[in-house]
A = this chain, B = another copy of it.
């Protein structure tokens, strides 16, 4: 296993994941690929062929897809090449998590009960991607219903014996493995950010409801969030443009020199593994070396209740969102879902009300605390990806941000034991999406430069 820094080094011709050569166009970021397609330096067909070749070569090892039809990809690419570029993603392949509707491919939820399920419409996010010119490359494997139950078959591209994380397992792995430059995931607990941390890619969970969740199989609507994966912070920002994410009117940092950054260990810091502690310390040193003012942000005691509040909200809302499936399938659903539907935890409505109110109180309080910083850095996961595919890791470090509705971007580039990726999250107040992306890009570049120096490599 190579050091993670190499994953970010697009000058090379192999990936961190193995020795299979990556076809050159498949190495491009979405921004680069779209620019070359727009100038005629690259065709959508050539990009599609590169991504198809990479996917076919690696599918036995990575298994990132539930539904993948090269013919359909080729048809879309041919259509793109026959058109004048019509949007910022013209001809760019995107992976779609298999709980989001696609009119031309089934949406199986990776559930044995929905293998033939094929809504004839696009999720809102898929419509927007197509309108921007993107090509739907296939459906990414997911933990069943993006909750629990059946795991994705996906393996971590950096180590086939380890999970890519979940539930957006295939979305994270496909981007990390250069099969597609972009993919879409969803997060209700830690399902976008954690897999990004484990697979060593950028990912964004925007402010809640900044992107319409229509056409996503709902789990807990008050916290369900559409997110996306990419191999550069620029690509993350490009998708912010495609999804028309508004800024909050405040200027984003353009340099770490003079920027104000908080390090927030979060209320679950006790669960952080040594590699995460090291990563956060390393990050603080790098930020200071880059001229940032780095402070520690300790959250008030009230925030300690958020992890449990998240659990209450999620379980109680599942009681309504999965009622149609439970009514139809009952005990044929997997046991944890049946237990949630039967409310075996015994959550009462007073408990749910208290959970909502605590979340709301802490949203306002966190925003006030975070408003003074350009970004807040916090762990993306408790450690590196666990071994095996059954344990997809814990959402421990993500739940509170999901419940707080704050924008989160995973920044890759640091690594732990065996070179496995360790991601860090940049977050901030609600609606600071654009500012958070900017700081994530600056931090990512800073980490990459440092890794380049440490490894004696040329840095782009």
Contact = CB atoms under 8 A, between A and B. Distances in A.
A258 interface: no
A363 B357 CA distance: 8
Contact of A244 (B120, B319, B364): B319
Interface in A72-124: 118-122, 124
Nearest to A341: B244
A327 B128 contact: yes
Interface of A: 118-122, 124, 127-128, 131, 209-214, 217-218, 221-222, 243-244, 246-249, 317, 319-321, 323-324, 327-328, 348-350, 352-353, 356-357, 360-361, 363-364, 367, 429-431
Contact of A323 (B119, B128, B367): B128
A317 B353 contact: no
21 contacts: A119-B119, A119-B121, A124-B321, A127-B328, A128-B323, A128-B324, A128-B327, A209-B317, A211-B320, A212-B323, A213-B218, A214-B217, A222-B222, A243-B323, A248-B348, A249-B348, A349-B430, A352-B431, A357-B364, A360-B360, A360-B363
Contacts of A350: 248-249, 431
A213 B209 contact: no
Given A209-B317, A213-B221, A348-B249, A430 B323 contact: no
Nearest to A433: B349
A212 B363 contact: no
Given A319-B246, A360-B363, A431 B324 contact: no
A244 B323 CA distance: 8
Contact of A124 (B122, B212, B323): B323
A242 to B, nearest CB: 10
B131 A431 contact: no
B209 A349 contact: no
A321 B214 contact: yes
Contacts of A119: 119-121
Which of A119, A120, A212 counts the most chain B CB atoms within 10 A? Answer: A212
A246 B246 CA distance: 37
Shortest beta-carbon contacts, A-B, top 6: A360-B360, A349-B431, A127-B324, A248-B349, A120-B120, A131-B327
Contacts of A246: 319, 349
A86 to B, nearest CB: 11
A353 B210 contact: no
B320 A212 contact: yes
Contacts of A212: 218, 221, 320-321, 323-324
Given A212-B320, A212-B321, A327 B127 contact: yes
A319 B121 CA distance: 21
A324 B221 contact: no
Contacts of A244: 319-320, 323
A324 B211 contact: no
Contacts of A349: 246-249, 430-431
A429 B119 CA distance: 37
A129 to B, nearest CB: 10
Contacts of A357: 360, 363-364
Contacts of A118: 120
A217 B249 CA distance: 30
Contacts of A243: 320, 323
B249 A222 contact: no
Contacts of A367: 353
Contacts of A210: 320
A211 B121 CA distance: 22
Contacts of A209: 221-222, 317, 320
Nearest to A121: B119
A430 B124 contact: no
A117 to B, nearest CB: 9
A253 B320 CA distance: 26
Contacts of A248: 348-350
Contacts of A431: 349-350, 352-353
A210 to B, nearest CB: 6
A209 to B, nearest CB: 6
Contacts of A324: 122, 124, 127-128, 131, 212, 214
A345 B244 CA distance: 17
